Amino acid sequence: MTVADSKFFAQGNVYVPHIAVIEKIVEETPGVRTYHFNFKDERLRKEFIFESGQFGQYSVLGTGEATFCISSSPTRPDHLEFTVQKVGKVTNALNRLGVGAEIGFRGPYGNSFPLDFLKGKNLVFVGGGIGLAPLRSLIWNIIDNRDIYNKVDIVYGARTPADLCFKYDLEAWDKDKTVNMVTTVDREAEGWKGKIGVVPKILEEVAPPAKDTAAIVCGPPIMIRFTFPVLEKLGFKAEQMLTTLEKKMKCGIGKCGRCNIGNLYVCRDGPVFSYAQIKDFVSSEY
Ligand SMILES: Cc1cc2nc3c(=O)[nH]c(=O)nc-3n(C[C@H](O)[C@H](O)[C@H](O)COP(=O)(O)OP(=O)(O)OC[C@H]3O[C@@H](n4cnc5c(N)ncnc54)[C@H](O)[C@@H]3O)c2cc1C
Ligand code: FES
């Protein structure tokens, strides 16, 4: 189901959200939660499809809408997940909801990670903080189709051990013999056994070979800004580096012009872009 599938618009109107129910809430870090949800409409529960990298417009009824990626994998379709950092009006309202509460959902919107391009390649995931949310959808997607991808490296970091999201996934990927999982925190911390140092520095140490490899990067703007030069130093070309951008959105479907960067709309042309597409904006905006 995509934005073009008008038969799936709630009440035939693209701006009317589908009603969904929160089934589970996972406290990831102080201020970050993952919500498991399902649609109320039985047909939608069965027929809804999306791709890793896509996002939705989620609403807290009576408060407003906000944009979040779908952080679960389409290969595990029994429910959907999104992960939220509490920063303002809608995210605080979401934080007050409990299991059983109803939310609105419009989507899935945007493009997705180019699986055809990634097929057969080595993959390097580079994530920071809550930036692991969209990568996580793709990582599980790849693990569930492991034979069609080559080597997988994951370099993920946060400021402190308490700020690491998806600790249960990090543990699972660490145990997975087909994945090289490297976790780091910015500064030494009591009991911490992983790497110490910011993500771009640790990526340079891991030094994945650029040949036949794609790098998929998502994290805070400062991490993204310092990661691309490291990848370039390692021999990656701009076309081999992918990221997913965040920009304040309103419609989510290319109508309102709110989310442009240069001549691109993040909602319609993205949110997944190659570095080649966005390198002129990264230094000024990211
Ligand atoms: C494609 C896409 C995917 C996203 N995925 C996630 C996700 O998985 N998890 C998550 O927690 N957040 C995600 N975001 C960011 C999220 O949309 C905002 O944090 C959210 O809209 C804030 O809503 P609010 O009403 O709580 O904040 P507001 O009250 O509207 O704003 C609070 C503060 O946050 C800033 N802000 C609001 N929206 C954004 C934005 N999009 N980018 C940067 N700053 C913003 C405002 O300028 C303000 O300073 C995504 C954004 C996009 C565009
Ligand atoms: S959010 Fe309206 S055009 Fe992108």
Q: pTM above 0.85?
A: yes
For residues 115-142, average pLDDT: 98
> Hey, what domains does the chain have and what are their CATH numbers?
6-109 (2.40.30.10), 115-244 (3.40.50.80)
Task: Decide: 217 and 233 in contact? Cβ < 8 Å.
Answer: no
Which of 65, 267, 269, 273 best tests ligand 2's pocket when mutated (most atoms within 8 Å of CB)? Answer: 267
CB 75 within 8 A of CB 56: no
What is the CB < 6 Å shell around ligand 2?
A: 249-252, 254-259, 265, 267
Provide the pairing of β-strand 179-185 with 152-158: parallel
**Separation in Å, CA 78 to CA 73, 75, 154:** 10, 9, 26
Mean pLDDT computed over every residue of the chain: 93
Q: DSSP 3-state assignment of 9?
A: coil
Say whether 166 sits in a helix, a strand or coil.
coil
Contact 267, 253 (CB under 8 A): yes
pLDDT score, position 223: 95
pLDDT (tens digit per residue) in 243-284: 999 888 999 999 999 999 888 999 999 999 999 999 887 665
Q: Encode pLDDT of 130-160 as tens digits.
A: 999 999 999 999 999 999 999 999 999 999 9
pLDDT band of residue 1 (cuts 50, 70, 90) is very low
Distance CA 48, CA 80 (A): 10
Tens of pLDDT, residue by residue over 5-28, are 555 566 667 888 999 999 999 999
The pairing of beta strand 260-261 with beta strand 241-244:
unpaired
Minimum-distance ligand 1 atom for the alpha carbon of 248: 41
Is residue 147 classed as helix, strand or coil in its secondary structure?
Answer: helix
